[in-house]
């Protein structure tokens, strides 16, 4: 029982670490895209806005998917 609990906690820790890494990567990607777009086309603010909307949508979708996966994993681990 103790070993099972330890393994479950280990899984949870791994999942949390993965989520944090994914979120950090997403944030870095957003910043990189914004910086590149802003520097490449300083006159094209419309493009910046379009890219921002696309990036925000992508980030939101990814975050939602990750959160759902984490919740499912945690629930499964707790039940099992």
- pLDDT of 1 reads 45
Work out how many domains the chain is built from and give that number. 1
Query: 21-34: per-residue pLDDT in tens?
Result: 888 887 888 778 77
In the block, residue with structure tokens 């957003």: 30
Residue 39 pLDDT greater than 70, yes or no: yes
DSSP 70: H
Range of the domain at 16: 2-79
CA distances from 24 to 58, 63, 69 (A): 14, 11, 17
In the block, residue with structure tokens 């802003």: 38
Identify the band that residue 44 occupies on the pLDDT scale cut at 50, 70 and 90.
low
Q: Tell me the CB-side half-sphere exposure of residue 53, using CA atoms within 13 A.
A: 5
């Amino acid at each position: 029982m103790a070993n099972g609990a330890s393994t479950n906690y280990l899984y949870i820790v791994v999942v949390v670490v993965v989520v944090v890494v994914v979120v950090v990567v997403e944030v870095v990607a957003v910043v990189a895209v914004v910086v590149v777009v802003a520097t490449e086309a300083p006159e094209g603010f419309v493009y910046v806005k379009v890219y921002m909307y696309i990036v925000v949508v992508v980030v939101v979708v990814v975050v939602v998917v990750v959160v759902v996966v984490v919740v499912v994993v945690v629930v499964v681990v707790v039940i099992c």
